Amino acid sequence: MSSLQILSHNDLKAELVSRGLFDARWYTKTYLEHETDEQALDSYVQYGRLIGHHPSSEFDPAFYRKQYLSRQANIPEIDHYICVDDNRPTSASQIEHSLDARLSARGVTRKHRFEKSVSYCIPIQNRLQDLQISLRENLESNRKYEKEVEFVIGIFDKDNEAEDWLKEHFEEDLQTGYLRYFRSDILDVWHFPRAKNAFRGELKGAVHSSLDGDNFVSEDETALILQLWKEHGDHFVLHSFSGEYGDGTCGRVTTSSNVYQAVGYDEDLLSTQYDDISCILRSLHAFPWIPLITFAGEKNILTTDQSEFLGRQANLNNSIVFLDRPTWRPPANPKGEAEVSSNEKMRAKNHLNSLCTWKKLIPDEVFHVYFDHNMRANFDWLIAISEREALYAESFSIEHAYFRGSEPSTELTAILCVKDQESILTRQIDHMRRRGVERFLIVDDHSSPPLSERAFGPDVHIFVPKTGRFRTSKKLWIETLAKTFVKPGSWVLITDADEFVELPEEHATFANFFASLPAGQTFVPGILIDVVDTTRSKDRESYRTQVETQNLHYCANTSPPTDEYVGHSSIKWGFENHARTSWTFDTRHHLVHTYDCLRKVPLFVYDHYTHIHHGFHVLYDSHSETRLGPDWLDRAFVILRHEKLIQYDLGLDPNVSNVETALRSREAENRKRLTDPNTSYEKIEKWLKPYSVSSVYDDVRRSIEDVDP
C-alpha cells in the first residue's frame, strides 16, 4: 500500500493473515483463555490492537509507537505498519538486522570496530583558498580529540598545488593520521554527490561528518558528536543547519559511517543544490527509527510546509530532537540567501534535485502528476538559461573527444537514448543512414557491455550520462545534446531505438521529404504503428539481422471506436479530433486493453526555445504551449514502425526485467499483460494485415477521412 488509509476490519484481518502478522495461538495464550483462532483474530482487530496488545511476539506496539509515530496522528500501530508496507523493524531486536541487510544489499559488510570515532570529510576542487582559511583552525580547535578524530581531505584537482601545500604545512599531522588526504580523478567538473561519496572507502572513523572547505568545526561541536555516537551508535542523523539558507551550514551532515555507507549521496542528482537534504531524507526514509537531530528549531528540513506535506506522502515520520547549538563559527565564504535566491541556475537545480529526491521516496501515483509537470518546467528553465558548455558538463564528460572538437552543426542529426539494445540500434542506424541521416548522437544509459565497445561508424558518437536516470532525465540528456551539437534552424530526428520512421514511398530521403513540406512547417508529427510477428518466432538471430523477412503484420481495426476509448484522457490528449485513427491502429489496446498515446513528434527544426516531452508525444515552446493543434494529422506526417511487441516476444526489451521498480503500478500491470505468453494475437487476427509502408499510409489516410475500406 502506498499511503496511509483507514482499513476496514475485514481488510485488516485479510492483511494480518496473508502477511503472517497475527499468531492466534500465541495471542490466545497471552491475552485470552479459550478462543478459536478466528475468535482470537476478531478480538484483536476489534479491541486488542486499540489497547496495546501484541498481535504476535514479533510485533511490539509500544516500541513501534515510540520509534515511528511520535509525529503521527493517532492510528493503531499495526494499521500503520500494514499501510507503509516497507518491512521496517517491529521490535528492538530487529533494528540491527535491518541495518545489516541494507548494507548487504550494497555489497558492504557492516563495520563494528573503527580506528577513530569521527571522520571529518572535506572534498575540494579548485578551492584551496578555502582550505587555507579553515584547516589550521579546525586542527587546533580539536587538538584535544586528536586520538579520536581525523580530518580527511579529498582532492579532486588536476594539479598538485593542494597536495604540495598540505605536505609543506602539516607534515606532523599527516604523519600521526590526525590529518589525511587522498587524490581522485573521478570528477572532470565539480559534482557534490560524487565528491562526497568518494570518501566511502577512506574512512577510519565510526562517524562520518561532511564539511565544506570553508567550514569550521569547534571543540564543542566535536564533543557533541562524540556524545551522540555514544548514546545512539549507528542510529542518528545530525544536521548542523542553522535554519538560514545561504549561510553555509546546510551541508553539515553527520551520521554513522555505516549509515553513510548504506545510503550516501544520490549521484543521480545534478551537480549542486539539495544534495545534503536529499542525503538526510533518504537516510531517514531508509531507517525510519533514526531521529533527526537539529539546531534549526522549527526551521528544520522536516517541518517546513512543503517538506511536512511531502513527508506525509512518503510516510516519513522520524522523530525530531531539538538541541541548542554549541559554540560554533560561521563558514568563511557563505553565499548568502539573497545570492542563492537570485541565482536562476541554483534555483532550477534545487527544484530539480528536490523533485528527484521526493519522487524516489513517494510511491503515490498522485505525486507523479505534480512531478512530471514541475520536472519538465524546471528542465526547460535550466536548459534555456545555461550556456551549452555548462549544460553539457552537468550530464556528460567534458573529456569526450567529440565534445572537445565539435561545434553546433547543420547536419541532419538523430538523437537516441538506449540501454542494452545493440542489435536493434544497429538496424536503426542503418535504416536512418539509408534515408540521409548524417550524424548520430547516442545516449548510452549504462549498457552492458558498453555501446562504446561496438563500432557503429565514424558518424556515431556515444555519450554516457554521469548523472540522472532514464525515466527522469532522458529529456534533459537529449535536449542537452541538441543544444550542444545542433545549430538552430537545423532538422533533428528523435525516436526510441525500436521506432523506425517510415517516409511516404515517394520520398527516398529526409531531405527530399523536407523539401516537399509546406512553407513554414517546422515539425513533422507521426503515428506509432505496432507491428507483430504472427508466428511469434523465437529466432533472435533472425530478428537481429533480417527483420525485413519477418512475418510482420499490423492491426487495422475497422470497427467503430467505443465511447469509453474516445473519452479516455490519454486518447483525447493525443488525438483529439482523430480518435478513430488511434483506435484503428491501437494494437496494444485491442490485445490487453491498455491506453497508450500513439502520437509522436520525431522530426522538428531545432531552436533554443523548442522542448520535447520525455515520451516524444509533444513539441512545445518555452512558454509550455504545444505546437500541435487538434488538426495535427491534417498536415504532412510520418508513420513509425514500432517493434516493441516483437522485442517483448523475444525477451529483448531491457525494461521488462525491472518492471516492478521502473514503472508506476498501472504501467507495470499493463506491461505484465503485454508480456504474458498467454496473450493471444487471435484477439486481433481478423484485423491484422501484412505490413507494408504504402498499405499503412493508405489506411492512416482513410482513418483520418473516416472512410471505410
Which tens digits make up the pLDDT trace of 109-155?
A: 888 899 999 999 999 999 999 999 999 999 999 999 999 999 999 99
pLDDT, tens digit, 9 for 90 and up, residues 311-326: 878 888 888 999 999 9
Residue 707 region by backbone torsions, left for phi larger than 0, else alpha for psi between -120 and 50, else beta: beta
- Going by C-beta distance under 8 Å and a sequence separation of 6 or more, which residues neighbour residue 271? 189, 190, 191, 192, 349, 393, 394, 467
C-alpha 109/C-alpha 223 separation (Å) is 28
Cell of 559: 470497427
- Going by C-beta distance under 8 Å and a sequence separation of 6 or more, which residues neighbour residue 418? 425, 442, 443, 444, 445, 447, 451, 496, 497
Q: What is the DSSP letter of 195?
A: H
C-alpha 5/C-alpha 89 separation (Å) is 20
pTM recorded for the entire structure:
0.84
Give whole-number Cα distances, 131 to 161, 394, 526, 585, in Å: 12, 25, 56, 64
Q: Name residue 490's beta-bridge partners.
A: 606
Give the pLDDT of residue 545.
61
C-alpha 425/C-alpha 652 separation (Å) is 12
C-alpha 576/C-alpha 466 separation (Å) is 39
User: For residue 659, what pLDDT band results from cuts at 50, 70 and 90?
Assistant: very low
C-alpha 85/C-alpha 147 separation (Å) is 44
- Torsion 30-36-39-41 (CA) sign: positive
Give the position of cell 527544426: 605
Chain-wide mean pLDDT for the chain? 86
Q: DSSP letter string over 236-278?
A: -EEE---S-TTSS-TT-EEEEHHHHHHT---TTS-SSSSHHHH
pLDDT, tens digit, 9 for 90 and up, residues 439-458: 999 999 998 889 988 888 99
Burial class (CB in 10 A: 0-12, 13-18, 19+), 278: buried
Name the packing angle between helices 305-313 and 365-385 (round to 10°).
130
pLDDT, tens digit, 9 for 90 and up, residues 45-63: 888 888 889 998 889 888 8
Q: DSSP letter string over 270-329?
A: -SSSSHHHHHHHHHHHHSTTPPEEESSGGGSTTSSHHHHHHHHHTT----EEE----S--
Closest C-alpha to 415, from 439, 436, 435, 451: 439
Give the pLDDT of residue 708.
43
Cell of 427: 538496424
Residue 526 has pLDDT above 80, yes or no: yes
Q: What DSSP element (H or E) covers 16? A: helix 9-18
Give the position of cell 512558454: 623
Beta carbons of 213 and 134 less than 8 angstroms apart: yes
With vertex at residue 304, the alpha carbon angle to CA 302 and CA 305, rounded to the nearest 5 degrees, is 120
Residue 663 has pLDDT above 70, yes or no: no
Give the chain's radius of gyration (CA, Å): 29
Closest C-alpha to 69, from 4, 15, 120, 11: 4
Residue 667 has pLDDT above 60, yes or no: no
Q: How many CB atoms lie within 10 A of CB 516?
A: 12
Give the pLDDT of residue 657.
45
pLDDT, tens digit, 9 for 90 and up, residues 158-171: 999 999 999 999 99
Give the pLDDT of residue 207.
96
| Collapsed DSSP state (helix, strand, coil) of residue 417 | strand
Proportion of the chain above pLDDT 90, given as a percent:
46
With vertex at residue 38, the alpha carbon angle to CA 34 and CA 40, rounded to the nearest 5 degrees, is 50
Give the pLDDT of residue 364.
61
What value does the mean pLDDT take over residues 356-370? 77
Task: Cite the beta strand spans of 42-160 per DSSP E.
Answer: 116-124, 149-155
- Going by C-beta distance under 8 Å and a sequence separation of 6 or more, which residues neighbour residue 186? 156, 194, 198
User: For residue 470, what pLDDT band results from cuts at 50, 70 and 90?
Assistant: confident
Q: DSSP letter string over 526-590?
A: EEEEEEEETT----HHHHHH-GGGS-EEEE---SPPPHHHHH-HHHHHHHGGGHHHHHHH-HHHH
C-alpha 177/C-alpha 116 separation (Å) is 10
